[in-house]
Copies of this chain bind each other. A is one copy, B any other.
Amino acid sequence: MKKIGILTSGGDAPGMNAAIRAVARRAYAEGLEVYGINYGFAGLVAGDIFPLDEEVLNDKIARGGTFLYSARYPEFAKVEGQLKGIEQLKKFGIDALVVIGGDGSYHGALRLTEHGYNTVGLPGTIDNDIPYTDFTIGFDTALNTAVDAIDKIRDTATSHRRVFVVEVMGRNAGDLALWAGVATGAEAIIVPERDYDMDKIAKRLERFREEGHDNAIIVLAEGVATAADFKAELDKHGDFDSRANTIGHMQRGGVPTARDRVLASKMGNYAIELLLQGKGGLAIGIEDNKITHHPMEDLFDEKHHADLDLYDMNNKFNQ
């Protein structure tokens, strides 16, 4: 192995740049040449590939987004697309690849491995919805962004004695809502992994109000409903002077937290170690605070599990 390529795929996430940097830095240390591939698999197929100089990386560890850009490219699911990509790898002499993105991008990565181009995957998404990893790159930053926003909303909820329904991202996973809800002392957390009973929630809010605790935050995972729909339903169960709020796309950007940068650095570093061992088709994770790897195909049969102890604990806190 002499030359490796790096690409980012799917939704961007803070810490992707730190991961790219770590892959490249460790690769340089091992005497490898490093190529950046712009716009994910689309750029691979199009040959949007360039040598990744050390100086380009200098200030990237602290930047949100991905400086290699990202794109969704379903066409890579077809053999035709894959073969075009391989042509480009041949043209640039790239032997192996690191792919940073959601588990959707691991399908393409596995195909390349099968074609003889070892590819290692790093879990890059704010949604924390990838199996075999406790945390994804970007989750901690998105979480802190959501918490900071909810703290601000709490100020105005308190000043005006209001109930806010705050919708956070996470696609079909409740992780962002669970962590953000616990971290902001939410009076209720609504996640796809658990049913909710609006009548109970309304009763809880009413009881709080009687006790003098007259503002509330309901943290709602986008996988359940929109804030506006949930609020409309809530309003049918009582008069709470409620407001709906969606935090939105800002959760996808921003300066990565220390945790995300360190996680991205460890994972990027480990990707090179695996490739140096001649391995491919592997997805990197962090499990029980240790960096691990699993065959990519194992992820396709497995589901991510949110930490529902947080849900139960938060209910206890609001009992």
Contacts and interface: CB of A to CB of B under 8 A. Distances in A.
A248 B245 CA distance: 6
Contacts of A26: 313, 316-317
A266 B179 CA distance: 11
Nearest to A211: B54
Interface in A227-263: 243, 245-255, 257-259, 261-262
A313 B269 contact: yes
A266 B317 CA distance: 11
Given A183-B61, A258-B180, A253 B152 contact: yes
Size bin of chain A's contact surface: 35 or more
A103 interface: no
A185 interface: yes
B152 A62 contact: no
A249 B153 contact: yes
Given A155-B252, A160-B71, A253-B156, A317 B22 contact: yes
Contact of A250 (B71, B152, B183): B152
Given A159-B70, A252-B155, A269-B316, A185 B21 contact: yes
A182 B258 CA distance: 9
A66 to B, nearest CB: 5
A156 B262 contact: no
B143 A258 contact: yes
Contacts of A150: 250
Given A254-B155, A259-B140, A61 B12 contact: no
A52 to B, nearest CB: 14
B183 A261 contact: yes
A12 B155 contact: yes
Contact of A182 (B8, B12, B151, B261): B261
A301 B12 CA distance: 46
A117 interface: no
A155 B213 contact: no
Interface string A140-158: 1001111101111111101
6 contacts: A25-B316, A54-B211, A54-B213, A61-B184, A65-B158, A152-B254
